[in-house]
Structure formats: structure tokens, C-alpha cells
Amino acid sequence: MQRKMRGRGMAASWYGIARTATIDRAGAWAELDDGGTAKIVTGVTEIGEGILTVLAQIAAEELGVKPEDITIGDNDTARSPEAAHAGATRQTYMIGNSVALACREAFARLVAELADHWDVEPDSIKAFDGEIWSEGSNFKTSMEDAVDVCKKRGVVPVGSGSFTAHGTGLDPEDGSGSPWQAYVYGCQVAEVEVDTVTGEVQVLGIWAAHDVGRAINPRGVEGQIEGGVVQGLGQALMEDYQLEDGHTKTHGFAKYILPTSLDIPQINTVIVEDPDPKSPLGAKGIGEPALVPTAPAIMNAIYDAVGVRITALPATPEKILAGLASLKDRKLQSVEAAE
């Protein structure tokens, strides 16, 4: 065996979107505001996944304004409608759809006034990027003017939205039930190099293909996948919270080892879009599912490279070396048996 051995492995995965085995819900308010800007109020704040930008994109698309002209009210139980928790891969699905519904109501209110003002059919009115027009006519104006017209007619273009995902509980005896209305699937391939002298594993490449329903912001989806892969890599190779009689032995980052810039494989993302038919946007989610297949893909790649099957995470150098040593023993024994 050479010192540095390479191999590849793959793993597939699936995941459910939004809360498990229950009805999930989220609400939002929207207002087309003066100057052609807009306000969205919903109980959510950024946890890093990019939700504020995604909501601004959704609102911009639905209202016909620019994303940077959207103001999003912060998550505050006394000031904004319930959107519940930032988790369960539910933000884009639950809150994104509730924002879309709220915006549609606000936009419809504006359109009703403008259609009457222009004397055109409401269906003919379209808006994008701060402009609003009636198709098949010469009527076209800025969103700023359109809001002004609407307000001068005595109407504030506001809307609210509530989105529901219909999961059902599991039967306590046989577990049957429909826990989610939307599922996503993923598959990752890992390429590793194993140093057979030190037992160290380097992940050199990850190919990550994930169905997200519809990518609102593809770069943001990539960011979620890259972050998920690296958390999966950390769990696969180095992270280990250790206790001894209930006392932690890993109480800082010198002992609890995390992936840093030198551990990062090239991550090649493929976004697959199978739109969700049960929601206005068709988007599903990616936050959690991104890291599900990473660790098993890496373990399968280690086996491919050196024939060591790691069944207990993480695959530390010590475990790799122990695996290599027992392989060697087994080979010797089989040689002796043959003799």
C-alpha cells in the first residue's frame, strides 16, 4: 500500500420540510409604502441563512419593486405576526409563502384602484422593479406614482397572509402518518486522501446535488450547501464532545476541534429544482438536508481508499490506523492459513 491512498464514496439522503408530524403555520403583513417602497412584517430574523434577502426577493417579485426598497420588520412577539421558529428547514417554505400571500393581497388592493383609475382590466396590470403598467395599453408609471394614486383614492395598499403546511401526527403503535407535505432529496460524492502513516484523512472534493424545489437565491443555496457539507465533514472527521463522569473534557476550541480553512474540500454544488405543488412559490428548503449525506459519503470514500470501515464517528487518525493494523493482521493470518 502506498502512503497516500485515494478513494471515492457516495451517499443519498432525504428530508422533510417544516415542522414534523404536525400542522405548521406562519403569518405575515405587507404594505406598499410611499415612494414605491414596501414593508414586510413577520416574526423572523436572520440566523445567517439569508432569509431576510429571500423574503425581500419574494416581496419584490410579488409587489413589483426592488429588493433593496423593502423594509423588513424585526422579529418581535409584540409587534409582528407569528412566524414561529427559525429551524426545521421551514423559513423559506413557511415564511416565504406567507409573505408571498400577504404581498399578493396588498398588490391586489393597489391594482383594483389603479385599474379603476386607468379604466383597464385588473388582470392586465403587471409590475416589476419599481414600474407598473397595463399590458395592451400605453399606461405605465412608477410604483411611487401608483401608490400615490391609490392613497389619494383613500386606500392604503396593505395585505396579510397565513400559510399552512398540513402534516399529521404519527400513530403511537405503528408510526403511520404523513409528517410533511414536502420532501427533498440529496446525494453527495466525496473524494478523500488517506495518509496511511499518520491516519489523517483529507477531503479533496465534494459533489453535492440537492433538490430545493425552486432556488429563490441560487448563491444563497450554494452557501447553505457549503456550510452544511463542512459541518458534516467536521462531524465525520474531527468534532467530538467528550465527557468523563459528566464533566466535559472539550471545553474550548483548542480541544473541541472544528474545520478551518485548510480542511475545506472543493465543493461542487448542483441545484436540482422539483417545484413543490402545494405552495405558491414552489420552493422547498436546504438548510438542514445539506449535511445529511456528507459523513456517510466520506466514510464510504475512506473504505474505498484503504478498506477500513469506520462505523463509529468521528474517523480520527487513531481509528484509521487501528483499522489499517487489523487489516494487516487479517492478511497475515490468511497468508499463514494458505501456507
Partner 1 sequence: MSDFKLDMEVNGRRVSKHTAGHLRLLDFIRDELDLTGTKEGCGAGECGTCSVFVDGKLVKSCLMPVAKANGAKIETIEGLAGTGVLTPVQRAFHKTGASQCGYCIPGMVMAATSALRENPGASAEELKERLGGNICRCTGYTKIFEAVEIARDVIAGRVGTQALEPEGAGDSYIGNNVRRLDAPSKVSGRLRYAGDMTMPHMLHMQVLRSPHAHARIVSIDTSEAEAMPGVECVITADDVPGEDGFGVFVHDQPIMARGSVRYVGEGIAAVAAENVETARRALSKIHVAYEELPAIFDPEEAMQPGAPVIHEYASDNIVKHIPIRKGDVKKGFAEADLIVEETYQTQQVEHAYLEPEAGIAYVDHDDVVTVISPSQNITHHRHMLAKIIDKPINKVRFIMSPVGGGFGGKEDMIYQGMLALAAMKTHRPVRLVYTREESIISTAKRHPARITYKMGLKNDGKITAIQFHMVSDGGAYGMSTEGVMRKAAILSCGPYDVANVQIDTIGVYTNNTPSGAFRTFGAMQAQFATESHLDICAERLGLDPFEIRRINMMRDGAFTHTKQKLGSVSLDEVLTAAETSSGWEAGAPDMRGPARKDLGGPGTREPCSLGARFEASSGKSKRQVA
- Pick out residues in 250-279 that bind partner 1 (CB under 8 A): 250-254, 256, 258-262, 264-268, 270, 272, 274, 277
Q: Does residue 160 belong to the site contacting partner 1 (CB under 8 A)?
A: no
Closest to 308 measured CA to CA, from 188, 194, 220? 194
Cell numbers 407569528 correspond to what residue? Answer: 82
- Determine the residue type at 330: R
- Which CB, 81 or 157, lies closer to partner 1? 81
Span interacting with partner 1, options 103-111, 114-122, 134-142, 311-319, rule CB under 8 A:
311-319
Binding mask 6-45 for partner 1 (x = CB under 8 A): xxxxxxxxxxx---xx---------------------xxx
Binding mask 204-223 for partner 1 (x = CB under 8 A): xx-xxxxx--xxxxxxx-xx
Give 323's contacts (C-beta < 8 A, 6+ positions apart). Answer: 306, 308, 309, 310
Active-site positions read 288
Span interacting with partner 1, options 64-72, 103-111, 117-125, 158-166, rule CB under 8 A:
64-72
Q: Does residue 291 belong to the site contacting partner 1 (CB under 8 A)?
A: yes
Q: Does residue 87 belong to the site contacting partner 1 (CB under 8 A)?
A: yes
Parallel, antiparallel or unpaired: strands 201-211 and 183-195: antiparallel
Q: Does residue 135 belong to the site contacting partner 1 (CB under 8 A)?
A: no
Cα separation, 101 vs 95, in Å, equals: 10
Where residue 302 falls (left for φ over 0; alpha for ψ -120 to 50; beta otherwise) is: alpha
Q: Does residue 226 belong to the site contacting partner 1 (CB under 8 A)?
A: yes
- Which CB, 11 or 111, lies closer to partner 1? 11
Q: Does residue 69 belong to the site contacting partner 1 (CB under 8 A)?
A: no
Residues 117, 125 contacting (CB under 8 angstroms): no
**Cβ at position 154, least distance to partner 1 in Å:** 30
Cα separation, 60 vs 76, in Å, equals: 23
| Partners of residue 10 on adjacent β-strands | 189
Cell of 54: 429571500
Closest to 30 measured CA to CA, from 13, 18, 42? 42
Q: Does residue 129 belong to the site contacting partner 1 (CB under 8 A)?
A: yes
